[in-house]
């Protein structure tokens, strides 16, 4: 594959953000055999981006494979890690999926549920661009931090 086969440009400014760094860390953590060692950031994060053309090439109904499930878990684990970094409290992600690709993603801090997302059609999990993915993560992060600020006693349990 050449650089032109990827939808993320090697010089995309989002690759320099804390979010991209955390996503790279999460993706490298699930790479058990070191296949991605030496890969550039844009190549590792490229599967998260589903352009209209990529989405059209996918079946409407299907079961998610292990790689897609790993990406879903990495995304929500990354958000949990960023919540932890921001507030200093342990954030625990929980992603539960059926074999058909339906489920739920939760992040808890103490006894407080700071994120609750229903997941559908996980085999088509992805974002239109890397910046859209970052925007989605930032939205979840800001809501989580607002809830922690509103209920610090519950988050501290």
Sign of CA dihedral 32, 38, 41, 43: negative
The pTM (predicted TM-score) of the whole model is: 0.92
How confident is residue 4, by pLDDT bands cut at 50, 70 and 90?
Answer: low
Mean pLDDT on 127-150: 97
What topology does CATH give the domain 9-155? Putative cytoplasmic protein (1.10.3100)
Q: Where are the domains of the chain?
A: 9-155
User: What pLDDT score does 32 carry?
Assistant: 87
Rounded to the nearest integer, the mean pLDDT of the chain is 93
Mean pLDDT on 24-51: 93
Q: pLDDT digits over 86-126, tens only?
A: 999 999 999 999 999 999 999 999 999 999 999 999 999 99
Report whether 48 contacts 71 (CB < 8 A). yes
Instruction: List strands edge to edge, sheet with 103-109.
Output: 91-97, 103-109, 112-119
Contacts of 6 (CB under 8 A, 6+ apart): 42, 43, 46
pLDDT(2) > 90: no
């Amino acid at each position: 594959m050449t650089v032109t086969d990827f939808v993320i440009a090697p010089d995309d400014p989002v690759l320099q953000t804390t979010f991209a760094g955390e996503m790279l860390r999460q993706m490298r953590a699930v790479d058990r055999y070191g296949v991605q060692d030496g890969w550039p950031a844009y190549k590792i994060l490229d599967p998260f981006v589903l352009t209209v053309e990529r989405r059209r090439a996918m079946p409407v109904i299907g079961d998610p494979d292990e790689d897609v499930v790993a990406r879903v878990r990495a995304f929500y684990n990354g958000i949990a890690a960023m919540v932890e970094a921001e507030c200093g409290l342990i954030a625990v992600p929980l992603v539960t999926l059926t074999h058909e690709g339906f489920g739920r993603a939760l992040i808890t801090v103490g006894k407080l549920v700071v994120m609750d997302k229903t997941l559908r059609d996980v085999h088509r999990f992805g974002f239109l661009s890397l910046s859209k993915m970052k925007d989605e993560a930032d939205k979840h992060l800001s809501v989580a931090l607002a809830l922690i600020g509103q209920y610090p006693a519950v988050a501290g349990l």
